[in-house]
Amino acid sequence: METLKFKTNINCGGCIATVSPALNELKDIQHWEVDTANPDKILTVNADDGLTAGQVIDALKQKGYKAEKV
């Protein structure tokens, strides 16, 4: 199990609803959440070791959001 963290521009419940299908489709993700109270809007992903940061960043990019690994 691996934990990945990303600084994002996901800032509200509507944004979370938009990215949910893309993140839920990534088979190696066990759990994810966005801390919208944090100024950096930190996305925390708990995933199997096979998931790369690039896969998460690409999934968010397809939905119009930015992510940067921290």
CATH of the domain at 61: 3.30.70.100
What are the pLDDT digits (tens) for 13-65? 999 999 999 999 999 999 999 999 999 999 999 999 999 999 999 999 999 99
Our count of domains for the chain comes to 1
Residue (of 21, 34, 31) closest to 51 by Cα position: 31
Domain span including residue 25: 2-69
Task: State the pTM of this model.
Answer: 0.94
CA-CA distance, 21 to 39, in Å (whole number)? 24
